[in-house]
Amino acid sequence: MTDRVDEALSYEQARDELIEVVRRLEAGGTTLEESLALWERGEELAGVCRRWLEGARARLDAALAEEEAGEDAG
């Protein structure tokens, strides 16, 4: 579950931390417990990124719809 600290992360912060998590998982050398914790953190960070991207998509869609409505009226 994502906590309030994660909610305060910018897209770029979450993405950069997610990249680091993936790098550490790919490098290996961690215990099973560490790997599971990294995986869980990666899932949380991916969720933060997904919410940012969904919000950006909604804003873009709204702007495009507004633009189309203006063209139709004019």
pLDDT tens string for the chain (74 positions)?
Answer: 455 667 799 999 999 999 999 999 999 999 999 999 999 999 999 999 999 999 999 999 999 999 888 888 86
DSSP for 38-50, written as a single string: HHHHHHHHHHHHH
| pLDDT recorded at residue 71 | 82
| pLDDT recorded at residue 70 | 86
| pLDDT recorded at residue 41 | 97
Measured distance CA(39)–CA(48) in Å, rounded: 14
